[in-house]
Structure 1
Amino acid sequence: MNYNTENLDDKRLVALYKKMLLPRLIEEKMLILLRQGKISKWFSGIGQEAIAVGVTMALNDDEYILPMHRNLGIFTTRNIPLNRLFSQWQGKASGFTKGRDRSFHFGSQEHKIVGMISHLGPQLGVADGIALASKLKHKNQVTAVFTGEGGTSEGDFHEALNVASVWQLPVLFCIENNGYGLSTPTKEQYNCEHLADRAVGYGMEAHIIDGNNIIEVYTKVQELAESIRNNPRPVLIEFKTFRMRGHEESSGTDYVPKALFETWETKDPIANFEQFLLTENILSADNIEEIKIKYTKNINDNLELSFNESKIESSEIKELNDVFNIIENEIITHSSEEKEFRFIDAISEGLKQCMERHDDLIIMGQDIAEYGGVFKITEGFLEQFGKERIRNTPICESAIIEVAMGLSIAGMKSVVEMQFADFISSGFNPVVNLLAKSYYRWGQQADVVIRMPCGGGVGAGPFHSQTNEAWFTKTPGLKVVYPAFPYDAKGLLASAVNDPNPVLFFEHKGLYRSIREDVPTDYYTLPLGKASVLKDGTEITVISYGMGLHWVLETLKQYPEISVDVIDLRTLQPLDTETMFNSVKKTGKAIILQEDSLFGSLSSEISALIMENCFEYLDAPVKRVGSLDTPIPFAKALEDQYLGESRFEAALKSLLAY
């Protein structure tokens, strides 16, 4: 192996060797502990240390790195305390996830490391978001993100590269091509000669680097990083390498030809570089032995600290309290000046005032800039806030949600507009597995609002009419808001933006231009998780939200004699159970109306909660009314039949008569 060490002094060369040696010695120890049952699983990076170490050494300490599960060298090179790493792998309290996740599924803001989730692809879009924040703040920084050759087959890879290229983001996309995705060889993963060739299709610069040559990795990445800082742009690097162990230890390596192992064993990055340092008299055999003894002692000492740490203890309250970043959001009251707003105007005005209040707030979505969005909610925003803050996006729902997560990691807020709530299915994974779980896993808030134009009754068919809130109310870590009136929409949107947790903000399209109300003209907030009681009565409790609430009010106009409590939930997660329970205990009867289909819906959960907590107060079974358990159809007659509006009146009468 040839090493071009020009412009590198002996001190730097020794440092590179030491940084590679430490993770190798840790791994060798971990493999022993794995066989002893003292750790649960291990993804080995033996043979790939030069990539992790070379890239990390080439970057500045304040530049983010997003590693994979084979990049121990990134964590050790950034000097993460070994006892904390070992405790992380044993699920102990001094680890980074309080025992809630394993392996390298964590991050550390102190060390500017953002760990992966098991789905491989999302960290690529997160890197885009961190890089976007760096570019907007003129920090002249590089963000490096890792994936394997198998991960390049995922849609997130392509979306992330496309977004990075369109926006010219300073990202180093690092592919560790070690020949196998678990047991599947590269010839079954892709059909191009080199993965670096894919960069051409994205208008992106690409390089192929010998991933086992520490000097080539370090010097080339250092050169590229400096270039990117001065000329922000994405660069794709394919590191050619090989892993000398299984995908993880239990999978073995029987699927790899023996000759391939023998070939790559001669290319071991540490053995070759060690021999080079000996040959050049930069290190002696005694020097190397001293280093190994010192490192081995350090590893064993830190392992002892970790082993002696008591098993993690927690409580139900502590676990539940760590799902969200719990803060006291300031409730800002409004003046008496009001103006009649349509629902859509209230959202637009509220969003605009949030942009004025938060200089670090970015809005992203398809067609939201010059066009003003398909519903014209952001019309005129481009002229007021500029192209950097009002960002048209490619049709990359998954990557844009990941970008929002990256912005949050970098300390910025974002609002993502789904063109239609239905389309979030293309970005479902980062919502439920990245945004929802990050705070619980490693204390990283996801300061993201996703606006969700939703709902039927407008003849838009199965893919533009769903009200899919139940997809998300089931997922711990997400807040879900669903206003029915302009006043609520404006105040709740402001609170959603202020909240550091991920919020799904549902806006019924059918209400946009059909509902008007006097709304305060200045900025104000309303509390999330607090229902509104629209009518006060004693005979029956009606619970609803969104469009369903207007169906309720229209029906009740025909029956002024009914004494009814009408509860507008406004926020579906967290749910105001106190208001519901107090009402049901007073009236003895409850009916829940929603637009969503019934099975597995929010009404099912509310019904169960009422039965569990108010059973002795009930004079009748809890009644649910919703839409049919079919996809939502297009033709008006079919859609009218589908929606629960037509069934509410009969259900109400039936329950009253029970």
Structure 2
Amino acid sequence: MHYAKHQLTEETLFKLYKDLLRPRMIEEKMLVLLRQGKISKWFSGIGQEAISVGVVNALNRDEYVLPMHRNLGVFTTRDIPLHRLFAQWQGKMSGFTKGRDRSFHFGTQAYKIIGMISHLGPQLGVADGIALAAKLQQKKTVTAVFTGEGGTSEGDFHEALNIASVWDLPVIFCIENNGYGLSTPTREQYNCKNLVDRGVGYGMESYTINGNHIIEVYTKLKAIAEDIRENPRPVLIEFKTFRMRGHEEASGTKYVPEELMAEWAKKDPISNYEAFLLDEGILTPEKIEDLRTEIENQINDHLKLAFAETEVESEEAQELSDVYAPFREKAVESGKVVERIRLVDAISNGLRQSMEKHSNLVIMGQDVADYGGVFKITEGFVEAFGKERVRNTPICESGIVSTAMGLSINGMKAVVEMQFADFVSSGFNPVVNYLAKSHYRWGEKADVVIRMPCGGDVGAGPFHSQTNEAWFTKTPGLKVAYPAFPYDAKGLLATAVNDPNPVLFFEHKALYRSVYQNVPTDYYTLPFGKASVLKEGTDVSIVTYGAGVHWALATLEKQAHISADLIDLRTLAPLDMESVYTSVEKTGKLIILQEDSLFGGIASDISAMVTENRFTCLDAPIRRVASLETPIPFAKNLEDNYLPKSRFEKALQELLAY
């Protein structure tokens, strides 16, 4: 490779060499430790160091970078203490995940590094969110995010590029094209000549860079970053490089032709650059030896620290408490002035007051801006808060959920409206794998609320009617609210926005304009994990939520002789089981009503917990009543039969007669 100084100082040229050499020497040591069984797995970046080192040197220290599992040079160039990296790879407490995750699956705000997850794609959208926050905060910063050529086939890649382009976000998308996705060569991954050509489709400028040429990487990235800071926009870069070792060490490289391996070995970024610096007199053999000795001593010293640390011990209380970010809600009591409004109005008012309270809150969703959302909940919000904070999004649920996470990482709050709760399936991965797990894994909050218009009884058919709360109550790290009344909806939504943890906020469409209540006009909050006891009686305990509350109320009004405790759960995670236990202790009979289909729903868990903890209080088998085990049909007669409204009354009578 041909090198030129490009007016770089000898100090800069030498620093680039040192920054290249250090991750290479660490990797060589790790490969020895892997063979000795002292680390469990290794993803080698040997031969690709110039990309990580060049990109990070081109960024400012306060600018975020989102690396992959072959970007050791990102971490070492940001000067993360080596003993902490070594401890991370050994699952020790002084690593970055307390032994809960491995490799580079972590982030650190102290060094402005946000690590990847194994699903790869979501981090691209996270970079969008980080950049959006910087833009809204009027910071002239750049965010750099890495992916491999394999990751460019994921939908998240295309969603993230489209979002960044439409919103002019200052993101540098870095594709490390190293020839293989595990064993699959590039010819079997995509059919365009260069991946960078895809930038044209997104109206995005793009460049191809020799990823093994440290000076080219550094100088071009530095110029691009400087320009983006003044003229915010995304840029797509394809770094041509090669993976000199297996996907991970156990996979080997037998699938790579020997001549191809030999060809790329001649392009080694360190040996070529070293030869150039020797020719320029910037390096000498003695200086190289001294530097190698210095790095080797540093590695050995820090390895001793990591090896000396005891193995991590599991403390159940600590494990459970770290699932959620700490949140001590300061209750805000409601005032005495009320107005009689619908559920949809209460949600709109609560959201508006949260926007007024939190200047760093951004609302995102399809058609939420000028149109006001399909249910008109955000109507008038653009006039009140501007289009920067009330943002129409492309149709890309996964990318927007990831963007919301990036906003949270960079100091903001986000409310995402799923146009219908059904559509969250297109964004399921970042919800359950990024939002839910980040705090437990590396202590990072996910200050995101996802609003979920849901529910049947409106003739909307299989794709606009699901009550899919059980998808999320199963996932540790998520909170789930499901109010049935306007008063609860407004107060719980305020709490959800205040909470730094991810909240799925379910809003039943059939209740939007059919349920009225006197609701305080001012701002107030209601606690999560506290059910509402709507009626008190001695014959039976009825536990339900959402539309089920109104079905139960209608049944009790019709059957006035039934003396029942009626419990509206209000939130499903956290779940107020103490109120359920107290009621069962009194009545001895329990029926649980849910709109969701029966198997695997919240009713099953409530039934199991009562059976395990209050079995001796029961005078009859617990009854669960739910919708049919089918998708939700469209025709009214079919939907009426699908929903459990009529079956509930019969089941209740049978339980009372037991």
> TM-score, normalised on structure 1?
1.00
Q: For residues 160 and 596 of structure 1, what CA distance do their matches in structure 2 show?
A: 33
Per-residue deviation, residues 598-646 of structure 1 (Å, max 9, x unmatched): 0011100110011011001100111100000000000000000000111
Identity among equivalent positions (%) equals 71
Aligned to 1:547: 547
Aligned to 1:349: 349
Aligned to 2:560: 560
TM-aligned CA deviation for residue 6 of structure 1: 2.0
Q: Which amino acid aligns with 1:541?
A: S
Q: For residues 509 and 286 of structure 2, what CA distance do their matches in structure 1 show?
A: 74
- CA contact 1:159–1:396 (8 Å) conserved in 2: yes
Q: For residues 536 and 414 of structure 1, what CA distance do their matches in structure 2 show?
A: 39
Aligned to 1:254: 254
Q: For residues 637 and 65 of structure 2, what CA distance do their matches in structure 1 show?
A: 55
- CA contact 1:343–1:516 (8 Å) conserved in 2: yes
1:311 pairs with 2:329? no
Aligned to 1:4: 4
Residue 206 of structure 1: SS of its match in structure 2? strand
Aligned to 1:585: 585
Aligned to 2:458: 458
Aligned to 1:278: 278
Q: For residues 579 and 185 of structure 2, what CA distance do their matches in structure 1 show?
A: 58
Residue 626 of structure 2: SS of its match in structure 1? strand
Q: For residues 19 and 632 of structure 1, what CA distance do their matches in structure 2 show?
A: 58
Q: Which amino acid aligns with 2:14?
A: V
Residue 372 of structure 1: SS of its match in structure 2? coil
Q: For residues 316 and 94 of structure 2, what CA distance do their matches in structure 1 show?
A: 19
Aligned to 1:113: 113
Aligned to 1:58: 58
Q: For residues 449 and 136 of structure 1, what CA distance do their matches in structure 2 show?
A: 19
Per-residue deviation, residues 170-219 of structure 1 (Å, max 9, x unmatched): 00000000010010000010000000000000000000000000000000
- CA contact 1:324–1:439 (8 Å) conserved in 2: yes
1:85 pairs with 2:76? no
Aligned to 2:445: 445
Q: Which amino acid aligns with 1:471?
A: W
Per-residue deviation, residues 269-322 of structure 1 (Å, max 9, x unmatched): 000001111111111000000000110011011001100100111311110111
Q: For residues 305 and 321 of structure 1, what CA distance do their matches in structure 2 show?
A: 28
TM-aligned CA deviation for residue 4 of structure 1: 2.2
Residue 339 of structure 1: SS of its match in structure 2? strand
1:496-511 alignment to 2 at 5 Å? 496-511=496-511
Per-residue deviation, residues 500-540 of structure 1 (Å, max 9, x unmatched): 00000000000000000000000000001110000111111
TM-aligned CA deviation for residue 367 of structure 1: 0.3
Residue 107 of structure 2: SS of its match in structure 1? coil
Matched positions, count: 658
Q: Which runs of 5+ in 1 are unaligned?
A: none
Question: After the TM superposition, which segments of 4 or more aligned residues of structure 1 sit over 2 Å from their partners?
Answer: none
Q: Which amino acid aligns with 2:17?
A: Y
- CA contact 1:347–1:486 (8 Å) conserved in 2: yes
1:117-266 alignment to 2 at 5 Å? 117-266=117-266
Aligned to 1:401: 401
Q: Which amino acid aligns with 1:134?
A: A
Q: Which amino acid aligns with 2:407?
A: L
Aligned to 2:325: 325
TM-aligned CA deviation for residue 261 of structure 1: 0.6
Per-residue deviation, residues 44-68 of structure 1 (Å, max 9, x unmatched): 0000000000000000000000000
TM-aligned CA deviation for residue 586 of structure 1: 1.0
Q: Which amino acid aligns with 2:62?
A: D
TM-aligned CA deviation for residue 558 of structure 1: 1.4
Q: For residues 432 and 540 of structure 2, what CA distance do their matches in structure 1 show?
A: 36
1:13-24 alignment to 2 at 5 Å? 13-24=13-24
1:611-622 alignment to 2 at 5 Å? 611-622=611-622
Q: Which amino acid aligns with 1:654?
A: E
Q: Which amino acid aligns with 1:585?
A: E
Aligned to 1:337: 337
Q: For residues 578 and 76 of structure 2, what CA distance do their matches in structure 1 show?
A: 49
Q: For residues 75 and 123 of structure 1, what CA distance do their matches in structure 2 show?
A: 17
Aligned to 1:523: 523
Q: Which amino acid aligns with 1:167?
A: W
Per-residue deviation, residues 10-36 of structure 1 (Å, max 9, x unmatched): 110000000000000000000000001
CA RMSD of aligned residues (A): 0.5
Residue 614 of structure 1: SS of its match in structure 2? helix
- CA contact 1:140–1:229 (8 Å) conserved in 2: yes
Q: For residues 368 and 336 of structure 2, what CA distance do their matches in structure 1 show?
A: 32
Per-residue deviation, residues 130-165 of structure 1 (Å, max 9, x unmatched): 000010111010000000000000000000000000
Q: For residues 325 and 359 of structure 1, what CA distance do their matches in structure 2 show?
A: 21
- CA contact 1:4–1:216 (8 Å) conserved in 2: no
Aligned to 2:358: 358
Q: Which amino acid aligns with 1:268?
A: D
- CA contact 1:543–1:569 (8 Å) conserved in 2: yes
Q: For residues 558 and 54 of structure 2, what CA distance do their matches in structure 1 show?
A: 74
Q: For residues 330 and 536 of structure 1, what CA distance do their matches in structure 2 show?
A: 29
Q: Which amino acid aligns with 1:436?
A: A
TM-aligned CA deviation for residue 326 of structure 1: 2.3
Aligned to 2:76: 76
Q: For residues 418 and 356 of structure 1, what CA distance do their matches in structure 2 show?
A: 22
Aligned to 2:418: 418
1:101 pairs with 2:101? yes
Q: For residues 122 and 269 of structure 1, what CA distance do their matches in structure 2 show?
A: 29
Residue 146 of structure 2: SS of its match in structure 1? strand
Per-residue deviation, residues 353-377 of structure 1 (Å, max 9, x unmatched): 0000000000000001110000000
Q: For residues 609 and 415 of structure 2, what CA distance do their matches in structure 1 show?
A: 32
Q: For residues 2 and 361 of structure 1, what CA distance do their matches in structure 2 show?
A: 50
Q: Which amino acid aligns with 1:340?
A: R
Q: For residues 283 and 265 of structure 2, what CA distance do their matches in structure 1 show?
A: 22
**Greater displacement, 123-132 / 321-330:** 321-330
Per-residue deviation, residues 471-495 of structure 1 (Å, max 9, x unmatched): 0000000000000000000000000
Per-residue deviation, residues 550-609 of structure 1 (Å, max 9, x unmatched): 000000001222111000000000100111111111111100001000001110011001
Q: For residues 482 and 450 of structure 1, what CA distance do their matches in structure 2 show?
A: 12
Per-residue deviation, residues 313-358 of structure 1 (Å, max 9, x unmatched): 1311110111001221111001100000100000000000000000
> TM-score, normalised on structure 2?
1.00
Q: For residues 538 and 2 of structure 1, what CA distance do their matches in structure 2 show?
A: 87
Q: Which amino acid aligns with 2:344?
A: I
Q: For residues 476 and 538 of structure 2, what CA distance do their matches in structure 1 show?
A: 34
**Greater displacement, 554-563 / 31-40:** 554-563
Residue 382 of structure 1: SS of its match in structure 2? helix
Q: For residues 6 and 343 of structure 1, what CA distance do their matches in structure 2 show?
A: 64
Aligned to 1:600: 600
Q: Which runs of 5+ in 2 are unaligned?
A: none
Q: Which amino acid aligns with 1:285?
A: P
Residue 549 of structure 2: SS of its match in structure 1? helix
Q: For residues 169 and 318 of structure 2, what CA distance do their matches in structure 1 show?
A: 39
Q: Which amino acid aligns with 2:459?
A: G
- CA contact 1:165–1:203 (8 Å) conserved in 2: yes
Aligned to 1:495: 495
Residue 353 of structure 1: SS of its match in structure 2? helix
Residue 330 of structure 2: SS of its match in structure 1? coil
